[in-house]
Structure 1
C-alpha cells in the first residue's frame, strides 16, 4: 500500500539513504540491511513533518533501478491515508475531533505515526470522512 523507494548511498564505510518521494526521509546504517531496517523510522519521522506542517503526504512512486522498497507498517499506512483524506476534505484535527465526538488528544494520537492506535479507531475516523479501509495481501 505505502512502499517508498529509497536510494542507498555508500560513504566512509557506512550507508545512508534518500527518498525521491519524501525528500525529508533519511536513514543510516553500518550495512545495507541495517540501513533498510532503519529506513522505516526515518520515513515515519519525515511523515510527521508533513502532518506538523499541514501538508498532504505524497503517494509513493514506482522504484527505479538501484532503489529499494521500504514498506510502511499497516497501521502507519492507514494513518497516512487518514491524514490525506482529511487534507482532501479540508478538515482540520479539531474538525475530526468534533465529527468523532472525541478529544483533540485522541485525534493527535490517531495521526501520530509512532503511537500504536487501534486500527478500529483509524477505521472510525475514515468512516467519518466517508472512507473505508481496505486491506490486501501481496506476495513478499
Structure 2
C-alpha cells in the first residue's frame, strides 16, 4: 500500500542518490545501494510528515516498473493507513479525538511518525473510522 518506487543514481564521486518520483520532497544518499535504500526509509517517513502536518492527502505510489521500492516501517504504515482513512472520509483530528474520547495531544502523537505509539491505539483509531488493520508476514 505504501511501497514507493525509488530511483537510485550512482554519483561520479561515489555513492548513490535516492529520489522518489511520487514524493519530490524525499531525497537522500548513501555510500552504497544498501545504505542508500536504508536511508530512503527515513527520507520517506520524514517526507510523509510534511503531508500529515499540512493535512494533505498522501501521495499515491506509482507502479514500480522494475525499480526498487521503499516502504515505511510497519508501525508507520499502520499510522499512515489510519491517516489516509481519516482524510478520505473528511474527518478532522478533533472529530477523531471525540470519537475516541481522547485529548488532542494523543491524536497528534498518533500521527507523529517518530513517536512509538502503542499498536492498540492505532487499532482503536482505525475502528473509530470503520476500518481495521491487517498484518501479514510475506
TM class, shorter-length: over 0.9
| Match of residue 136 from structure 2 | 136
State the 4+ residue runs in structure 1 displaced beyond 3 angstroms: none
Which residue is 1:57 aligned to? 58
Distance in 2, matches of 1:100 and 1:27, equals: 37
SS in 1 for 2:6: strand
CA–CA distance in 2 between the matches of 1:61 and 1:117? Answer: 28
Matched length: 137
- Give 1:60 shift: 2.2
Q: Distance in 2 between matches of 1:61 and 1:136?
A: 22
Inter-partner Cα distance in structure 2 for 1:115 and 1:10: 33
In structure 2, distance between residues paired with 1:128 and 1:56: 19
Post-superposition offset of 1:64: 1.9
Q: Is the 8 A contact 2:85 2:129 kept in 1?
A: yes
Aligned to 1:25: 26
Q: Per-residue deviation at 1:89? A: 1.3
TM-score, reference length from structure 1: 0.91
Distance in 2 between the 1:22 and 1:104 partners? 28
Secondary structure at the counterpart of residue 17 of structure 1:
strand
**1:111 is aligned to 2:83:** no
Q: Which residue of 2 aligns with 1:34?
A: 35
Listed as ranges, the gaps of 5+ residues in structure 2 are none
**Cα shift readout 1:7-27 (whole Å, capped 9, x = no counterpart):** 101222121111122221111
Query: What CA distance in whole angstroms lies between the structure 2 residues aligned with 1:23 and 1:119?
Result: 30
Please say which of residues 19-28 and 82-91 is displaced more in the overlay. Answer: 19-28
Bigger strand share: 1
Cα distance in structure 2, aligned partners of 1:62 and 1:23:
16
Is the Cα–Cα contact under 8 Å of residues 94 and 104 in structure 2 kept in the other structure?
yes
Aligned-residue offset at 1:137: 2.2
User: Structure 1 unaligned runs (5+)?
Assistant: none
